[in-house]
Amino acid sequence: MEDSLRKEDPLELAARYLRQRRELGEEELYLSPGLFDSIEKSPQEKSELLKELYDSSRDCTKCGLHEGKTNYVFGTGSASSLVMFIGEAPGREEDLQGEPFVGRAGKLLNRILVAIGLKREEVYIGNILKCRPPENRDPLPEEIEACLPHLYQQIDIIKPRVIVALGRVAAQTLLKTNLPMSKLRGRFYDFNGYPFLVTYHTAALLRNPQFKKPTWEDMKILRRYYDKITGENFKFYDEE
């Protein structure tokens, strides 16, 4: 095949670009707005890949939870979302409706999204587990291990610009730590190259109103970061 017809490896392309800039004596990078277009998948490709992943995983039997489920709760939102929220596992409402965060905790999440100027449809919402644990008990390590590859694949397709862990299970699982939420929340981590922010789960906020203030601080951190990515300048209702 002619060299010019060979599909470029994105990493080779990036390395060549960076080397070239250095050799031209550039100290600072200029990244033109179209630079990533040939590397990244289009919104349509992402949504097709996500649909394929759903179809291939919805009948999963890798752990016992599939036996008691009503619905497989894959995730919801745009496949090209810049922001991805990750909770713990479906509860009763989510199991019945087949969509994450639609019960009381979900309604509170919706209100938080409104407060930071994001629409539910433009973010992606998923969970560590896709089938409901009985009586909403904590996920077992073997359930997490069985289910996590699906979430990793979702992340890999969506490639969000920022991930937000909602609560202890999501944060500790993905960051592979046992640190408590009080130590984990409120700052960014690197999760496989993704900026990763930790905040309280909305179900915890319903039980512990004292978590509302720190959660609002975390959501402001998220929105400021989102503004940096998009060039927007959102005004918080309490800072006008």
Name the site residues for ligand URA (rule: CB under 6 A). Answer: 87-91, 94, 100-101, 103, 105-106, 127, 203
**Minimal distance, residue 46 CB to ligand URA, in Å:** 22
Task: Identify residue 126 by its one-letter amino acid code.
Answer: G
**CB-neighbour burial class of residue 49 (10 A; exposed 0-12, middle 13-18, buried 19+):** middle
- Calpha distance 215→222 (Å, rounded): 10
Query: Three-class SS of residue 238?
Result: helix
| DSSP 3-state of 64 | helix
Query: CB-based burial of residue 207 (10 Å sphere; 0-12 exposed, 13-18 middle, 19+ buried)?
Result: exposed
Q: How far apart are CA 170 and CA 125, in angstroms?
A: 12
| Cβ 4 to ligand URA shortest distance, Å | 48
Which runs of E-coded beta strand occur in 88-152?
124-127
CB closer to ligand URA, 94 vs 143: 94
CB atoms within 10 A of CB 75: 22
**Looking at beta carbons only, is 22 or 119 nearer to ligand URA?**
119
**Closest approach of Cβ 102 to ligand URA, in Å?**
7
CB 185 to ligand URA: min, Å: 16
CB of 163 to ligand URA, least distance (A): 15
Nearer Cβ to ligand URA, position 101 or 211?
Answer: 101
> Least distance to ligand URA from the beta carbon of 235, Å?
30
Nearer to ligand URA, 73 or 118 (CB): 73
Residue closer to ligand URA, measured from CB, 32 or 69 = 69
Is residue 96 within 8 Å of residue 90, measured between CB atoms? Answer: no
* Nearer to ligand URA among residue 41 and residue 58 (C-beta): 58
Residue nearest to ligand URA (CB): 87
